[in-house]
Amino acid sequence: MEQSLRVKVNGQAVKREVPPRLTLADFLRDRLRLTGTHLGCEHGVCGACTVLLDGDAVRACLLLAVQADGREVTTVEGMGEPGRLTPLQRAFLEHGAFQCGFCTPGFLATGEALLRSGRRLSRAELPDLLAGNLCRCTGYGPIVDAILEAAGSR
């Protein structure tokens, strides 16, 4: 049995019938073809699927699509515009904050939520705030640098 879902995704109103067991991540990836949200573990540890739900960083693999009903989702595809990257995306490029790039959309979502929170980000604290996202390539240092730079430019 399917349920109706109305959700705003990257600024666009979307209405779909979905099975209740469909995760938000699979809804975004398979139904809307927004494949920038990646799945690294599907059990809420790696953070690759992190998206913004009403501005908060959440794990799209642990939410059902129907739980997003009436809410607003921002994925990596909703960050920046054609021909213009966000300051955070630019900082990721400049600092080499990724190698394979698989974890990047999740870090961008976590980073964006931190930047929007308005809290002061320090080099000492930031790594703890990023402990919900795994990266296997970079050793994290360049990611920390990129987020700090984007925070400084705001």
Partner 1 sequence: MKAGSDAEERLVRGQGDFLADLDLDALEACFVRSPYPHARVQSISLPGGRGLTGAQLARLAGPLRVDGPGLKAVPWWPLAVEKVRFVGEAVAVVWAEDRYLAEDLADETEVDYEPIPAGPLHEEAPDGVLYESRREGGDFEAAFGRAARVLERTFKTARQTPIPLEARGVVARWDGAAGRLTVWTSTQVPNLVRTVLASSLQLAEGDVRVIVPVVGGGFGLKAHVFPEELAVAALARHLGRTVRWVEDRRENLLASAHAHEETVRLRLALDDQGRFLAVDAEVSCDVGAYSVFPFSASLEPVTTGQTLFGPYALEAFRLHASGLASSKCPAGAYRGVGMNAAAFATERMVDIAARELGLDPLELRRRNAIREFPTVTAAGRELDSGDYLGLLGRLDAPYRELRRQQAEARREGRLFGIGVGFFNEHSGTGASEYQTRGITTIPGVDSARVRVGEDGTIEIATGGADAGQGHAETYRLLAARELGVAAEKVVVFEGDTDACPPGSGTFVSRGAVGGLTALTEALREVAEKDLAPGLEVTRVVDPKQVFPSGAHLAAVEVDPLGLNPRVIRYLAVEDCGVVVNERAAEAQVRGGVAMGMGGVLLEEIRYSEDGQPLASTLLDYLVPLAPDVPEIEIEHQESPSPLTALGSKGVGEAGTIGAFAAVANAVADAVQAELNELPCSPDRIFHLRRS
Structure tokens at 148: 């700090």
User: Whose Cβ is closer to partner 1: residue 68's or residue 142's?
Assistant: 142
Burial 56-74 (b: 16+ CB within 10 A, else e): ebbbbbebbbbbbeeebbb
Q: Which of 3, 8, 67, 77 binds partner 1 (CB under 8 A)?
A: 77
Site string for partner 1, 30-69 (x = CB under 8 A): x--xxxxxxxxxxx-xx-x---------------------
Distances (CA, A) of 1 to 22, 34, 61, 66, 99: 12, 24, 21, 13, 42
Instruction: Check binding of 104 to partner 1 (CB under 8 A).
Output: yes
Whether the Cβ atoms of residue 38 and residue 49 lie closer than 8 Å to each other:
yes
Query: For partner 1, which stretch binds (CB under 8 A), given 1-9, 62-70, 104-112, 113-121?
Result: 104-112
Binds partner 1 by CB under 8 A, chosen from 8, 16, 80, 148: 80
Here the tokens at position 70 are: 């009436």
Number of residues that bind partner 1 (CB under 8 A): 56
CA-based torsion, 52, 58, 64, 54: positive or negative: negative
- Interacting residue ranges for partner 1, rule: CB under 8 A: 19, 21-22, 26, 29-30, 33-43, 45-46, 48, 75-77, 79-80, 85, 89, 92-93, 96, 98-105, 108, 126-128, 130-131, 133-144
